[in-house]
Structure 1
Amino acid sequence: MELTWKASVERELERQGTRLEVLEYSASPMEAPLSGYHQPLSRPARWRQLAVHVGQGSAVLESGALQYLRGDLEMDTVSASGGGGGGLGGFLRGAVTAAATGEGMYKTAFKGRGVLYTEPTRLHLLLGELTGEDLIVDDGAFVACVGDITVGRHVNQGFAQMVGSGEGRVQPKLSGQGLFALQSPVPPEEFQVLDLRGDTLKVDGNLVVAYTGGLQFSVERSARGLLGSGKTGEGFVQAYRGTGRVWLAPTLPLHAGPLG
């Protein structure tokens, strides 16, 4: 049976002339069902695509995320050291800062007015807003941001403590004001956004997709068997202390399997 893919807006978020839309593609049969016959239909998994509406400020996409764009938008690849091509005349120079490892963290920067469309994915897209704080993002979760947001890097020394290394884990850091989109196997409805106020959160496993920069992060040893099986490492848990927000996905183990 032939199928056709139909798009609908799953969710959107708008702020001061910028907007993020999640388009969801679902498959429907092209032919009408035969009268009097039962036709079981196994529909393929849905796909999602992010539309980034740029009206003010600028936008940054993960390298390779762009499928096509419409409008008067200048594009440049910005390296971790802040250098890039000449197309933007120095716009966003330094917006993506150097990683401690010396390796490049390349993003694609845009300025002007128009709409950017990302490559379709089976992963879910989580939309959020920054109002002046920093956001530390898990590896591979960043998709795009728009507005007055700087994309930099955060060296997480907590993981260095865990493995006894002198080098920390480098993660993307978003700073400023605007909208952002992250990707995850977990639907947005299943995330818990925990508001910590002088509190402590300990997590067994890599269940946190992002947290605000005001929180102190560490990796701590726990008594064997105290918190499950120690999925962060043999006898280790991730600890977050202070005041801020944490995006936690407790159902992540239920969504195991390759997606993309």
Structure 2
Amino acid sequence: MKVVVAESAGFCWGVKRAVEKARALAAKSGMPVYTDGPLIHNKQMLARLAEEGIKAADNPETLSNCVLLIRAHGIPPSRKAALEKLPVRLEDATCPDVARIHRIIRERVAAGETVLVFGDAGHPEVIGLVGCAGVEALVIRRPEEVSELPPPRRRYCLVSQSTQFPRSFDRIAASVLARFPDSAIIDTICRSTRRRQEELFEMAPEVDAFVIVGDPHSANTLRLVEIARELKPAFHVRTADDVAAAEFSGLRTVGLSAGASTPSFVLEEVRKKLESIPTVDR
């Protein structure tokens, strides 16, 4: 079977940076390396890092004489302040795109604005964003929720979780401006997310179906799956073991993409498995 691989598939630059930073610390620090929770959302990559001595700490407060690395999703300032008091060498692998949103939120709150965060309330990145604003933050998911917002103290500032749907952000922004015309709208969806989603639309005319590779806990992977299923039949797999040849009967060409935390070795194994499937008409 022919496989068309998206150029954007796999690690985004923020995830790549975090993994490289963790590996460099393990190689050069001379101390055990732990991460404050999972470094990224990919079970296979985390397992490989654990083999290299880089492990997620379930209870960082018990650590000492080691390196503790802040995850790529970032953390609230209060969390960082608590970690800085521990007897560890604290290092930061927050994605620079996420760190930029942190700075924007702090500046807007300092200016007296109330921050609206378009995102998933329980996601680690969103928890960090809300933490930057303290009480001056509200999380919204749908345009319909705008009608329920209370009047802001001064005005609203809308930002986004970095891996959200651009089209959904635009709809929410329109609803916010319709009700609160003086609101500030700052689109903070990262370029990697935009390109990854756009590429599915570009590939759709060339393929019979999509295969999206990624961890089920990866929010950006799940969004890719949602878009892919609007365009063509689509399959969400974690690894090559999830690829069932029978499901691809009658398909000649599939488009292959992956979430921002999917490592290249997992993507390559899936590609090889798909290419090994013979093309058989239904």
Smaller-chain TM-score bracket? 0.3 to 0.5
Give TM-score scaled by structure 2 length.
0.31
- Tell me which protein shows more strand as a share of its residues: 1
The structure with higher relative contact order (CA 8 Å, sep 6+) is 2
Give TM-score scaled by structure 1 length.
0.32
- Tell me which protein shows more helix as a share of its residues: 2
